[in-house]
DNA sequence: ATCCAAAGGACTGATGCTGGCCCATTGAAC
DNA sequence: GTTCAATGGGCCAGCATCAGTCCTTTGGAT
């Protein structure tokens, strides 16, 4: 009698997809792409970052070196020096075919992000959290025609929603799934119409969360996600 | 201007919590604890497992050795030999205080598992999937007073629900969160009353999924999870 | 003008993990 | 009874990664 095949795939998956160097590059890229580290901003010092990422300074430096070469960051020596996110970011390399995992990504995103919205609305938010959320919302609606910048602020709003759900693991999961979704979005054009829709939907979501209405928050998020899901399916699958 | 503090914590978290050996032990233990590898069953061969886990055979063997020493598995040499899950599993070591992450775990679990139930109900299941789900349901209701065995079958049912949601990443996430929940459950007693309640709730969940009713599936799962959440909060927090 | 603290840059020895190779054991098939 | 294939057991050279240490650059404080 051998192990049950169904669940085995989920558990006997690779323990480590990438090595420490690659993971580190990925993590930094993720921070830049999601807008957590905005253009021009300074990253933490190498010693600090290495400690936070649980990686040796050598490995971190190799990763930073790769990002410098690729044009994502710049390093300056001396006191008040550091590593800075480039003011003008390189455009991401063209992605290969998204393949089977389109539905995988969309399914997981719906579960995580709608769940986060509901969980956030179910809590009693502190004033700081309410401000954080509102600020992120205003940021998104305040972009003039820079597609890349819009996508970063959009990600930051969605991350902020996950944050106020007050589950660190959930925030992490949302950050990961957004990175995957963004990779797919990079392959398709962003239309002004979509942005207008999104802005209105963002407002509904945040309103529902601030009002403490979990059902409405979930529903608003569902609607919002359905929009981009349809967009992605249309461009990538049709 | 430094990086935005909120999201930074989610992204600048450790790249690797544990080393390859520890991760491997954890993965195998997870498979055993969740009942994916049931007592007496044979694990895949070392060469096969090492490949699936993306780890060298040396590392895998070290991990297996640790599990042999701990009494979780037994190895037999020769053709038709292999590594077998022990027939009587050791009881898990007493856990330290669960601490802050109780709410973290419970929040994420609700998001993932209720989301999985809804996603599963939203699909049109194949006959094989319907059978898989039904079989897992019958398995759970068919346990006589063996607490550990009950928990394994319970986990397998919940995993089966995630599987029929047809998102590999979601299945993985559910497996991980269940491992964390089970660690907490190990610290508290399981009452017969709870089992009866659970059986009825399991039936409602599966019924809703088979009927293709996402709203009912989510609601049933929410109710089910609320039960154990309350139990855990009561025992661990009060 | 000098000093100094904070940052990046560079090196080294120790350790973990890998990939490959061969040996030892077992039970079925012939 | 011999053979053979599949499996666990063990070993080793090489590479990745780590922790620690020291050097270099820079600009504000004195």
> Do A14 and A106 reside in the same domain of the chain?
no
Tell me the C-alpha distance between A24 and A18, whole Å: 9
What does the pLDDT look like over B153-187, one tens digit per residue? 999 999 999 999 999 999 999 999 999 999 898 88
Q: How many CB atoms lie within 10 A of CB A117?
A: 30
Q: Are B33 and A45 in contact (CB under 8 A)?
A: no
Tell me the C-alpha distance between B183 and B188, whole Å: 10
Residue A9: per-residue pLDDT? 81
Query: How close does chain A come to B120, measured CA to CA in Å?
Result: 10
Residue B39: per-residue pLDDT? 94
3-state SS assignment for residue A85: strand
- Please report which confidence band the pLDDT of residue A208 belongs to, taking 50, 70 and 90 as the band edges: very high
Q: Which residues of chain A neighbour B20 with C-beta distances below 8 Å?
A: 15-16
User: Alpha helices, DSSP H only, in A34-146?
Assistant: 46-53, 57-70, 101-109, 115-122, 127-141
> Do B216 and B126 reside in the same domain of the chain?
yes
Nearest to A173 by CA among B52, B167, B223: B167
- Please report which confidence band the pLDDT of residue A4 belongs to, taking 50, 70 and 90 as the band edges: low
For the cut 90, the answer to whether the pLDDT of residue A193 exceeds it is no
> Do B33 and B114 reside in the same domain of the chain?
no
Q: How many CB atoms lie within 10 A of CB B233?
A: 13
Measure, in angstroms, how far nucleotide C8 C1' is from residue A62 CA.
12
Which residue ranges in chain B fall short of pLDDT 70? 1-6, 94-99, 145, 238
Q: How many domains does chain A have?
A: 2
> Do A60 and A141 reside in the same domain of the chain?
no
> Do B62 and B118 reside in the same domain of the chain?
no
In a domain, residue A96? The reply is no
What does the pLDDT look like over A10-25, one tens digit per residue? 889 999 889 999 999 9
In a domain, residue B92? The reply is no
Residue A153 belongs to domain with CATH number = 1.20.120.530
Residue B97: per-residue pLDDT? 59
For the cut 80, the answer to whether the pLDDT of residue A6 exceeds it is no
Q: Which two tokens stand for residue B212?
A: 């293709």
Which window residues (126-155, chain B) lie with Cβ within 7 Å of strand D?
A: none
> Do B219 and B183 reside in the same domain of the chain?
yes
In a domain, residue A106? The reply is yes
Residue B75 belongs to domain with CATH number = 1.10.10.10
In a domain, residue A90? The reply is no
DSSP state of B42: B
In a domain, residue B93? The reply is no
Residue B65: per-residue pLDDT? 97
Residue A3: per-residue pLDDT? 62
In a domain, residue A54? The reply is yes
Q: Which of B8, B115, B162 comes nearest A36 by C-beta?
A: B8
Q: How many CB atoms lie within 10 A of CB A166?
A: 18
Nearest to B190 by CA among B128, B148, B156: B148
Residue A109: per-residue pLDDT? 98
> Do B52 and B111 reside in the same domain of the chain?
no
Contact B160 A15 (CB under 8 A): no
Residue A145: per-residue pLDDT? 66
> Do A147 and A227 reside in the same domain of the chain?
yes
> Do A183 and A210 reside in the same domain of the chain?
yes
> Do B224 and B126 reside in the same domain of the chain?
yes
Query: How close does chain B come to A83, measured CA to CA in Å?
Result: 10
- Please report which confidence band the pLDDT of residue A189 belongs to, taking 50, 70 and 90 as the band edges: confident
Tell me the C-alpha distance between A35 and A65, whole Å: 20
| Per-residue CA distances from A193 to A25, A155, A197, A222 (Å) | 34, 18, 6, 19
What does the pLDDT look like over A27-55, one tens digit per residue? 999 999 999 999 999 999 999 999 999 99
The Cβ-side half-sphere exposure at A134, using a 13 Å CA radius, reads 10
Q: Does A4 touch chain B (CB under 8 A)?
A: yes
Q: Structure pTM? A: 0.92
> Do A29 and A138 reside in the same domain of the chain?
no
In a domain, residue B175? The reply is yes
Q: In whole angstroms, how large is the CA radius of gyration of chain B?
A: 19
What does the pLDDT look like over B186-217, one tens digit per residue? 888 877 777 888 999 999 999 999 999 999 99
Q: Are A30 and A175 in contact (CB under 8 A)?
A: yes
Q: Exposure of A126 by Cβ count < 10 A (0-12 exposed, 13-18 middle, 19+ buried)?
A: exposed
Measured torsion, CA atoms of residues B90, B91, B92, B98, in degrees rounded to the nearest 10: 180
Q: Which of A1, A2, A7, A55 to mutate to test the interface with B (most CBs of B within 10 A)?
A: A7
Tell me the C-alpha distance between A117 and B30, whole Å: 30
Measure, in angstroms, how far nucleotide D5 C1' is from residue B143 CA.
40
| Length of chain A, in residues | 238
Measure, in angstroms, how far nucleotide D28 C1' is from residue A81 CA.
13
Write out the H or E segment, with its range, that includes residue A74: strand A73-76
Among the residue ranges A2-16, A23-37, A101-115, the one predicted with the least confidence is A2-16
Dihedral class, residue A78 (left if φ above 0, else alpha if ψ from -120 to 50, else beta): left
> Do B147 and B191 reside in the same domain of the chain?
yes
In a domain, residue A91? The reply is no
Domain that holds residue B138: 102-236
């Amino acid at each position: 009698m051998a192990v049950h095949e169904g669940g085995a795939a989920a558990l006997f998956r690779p323990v480590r997809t990438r090595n420490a160097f690659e993971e580190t590059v990925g993590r930094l890229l993720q921070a830049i792409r999601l807008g957590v580290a905005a253009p021009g901003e300074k990253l933490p010092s190498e010693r600090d970052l290495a400690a936070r990422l649980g990686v040796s300074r050598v490995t971190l430096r190799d990763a930073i070196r790769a990002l410098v070469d690729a044009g994502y960051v710049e390093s300056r020596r001396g006191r008040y020096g550091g590593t800075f996110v480039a003011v003008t970011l390189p455009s991401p390399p063209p992605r290969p075919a998204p393949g089977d995992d389109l539905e995988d990504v969309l399914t997981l995103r719906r579960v995580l992000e709608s769940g986060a919205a509901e969980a956030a609305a179910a809590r009693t938010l502190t004033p700081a959290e309410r401000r954080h959320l509102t600020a992120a919302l205003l940021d998104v609606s305040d972009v003039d025609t820079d597609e890349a910048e819009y996508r970063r602020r959009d990600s930051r709003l969605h991350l902020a929603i996950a944050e106020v759900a007050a589950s660190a693991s959930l925030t992490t999961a949302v950050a990961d799934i957004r990175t995957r979704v963004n990779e797919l979005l990079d392959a398709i054009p962003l239309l002004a119409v979509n942005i207008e829709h999104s802005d209105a939907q963002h407002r509904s979501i945040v309103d529902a969360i601030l009002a403490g209405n979990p059902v409405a928050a979930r529903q608003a998020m569902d609607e919002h996600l359905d929009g981009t899901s349809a967009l992605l399916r249309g461009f990538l699958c049709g």
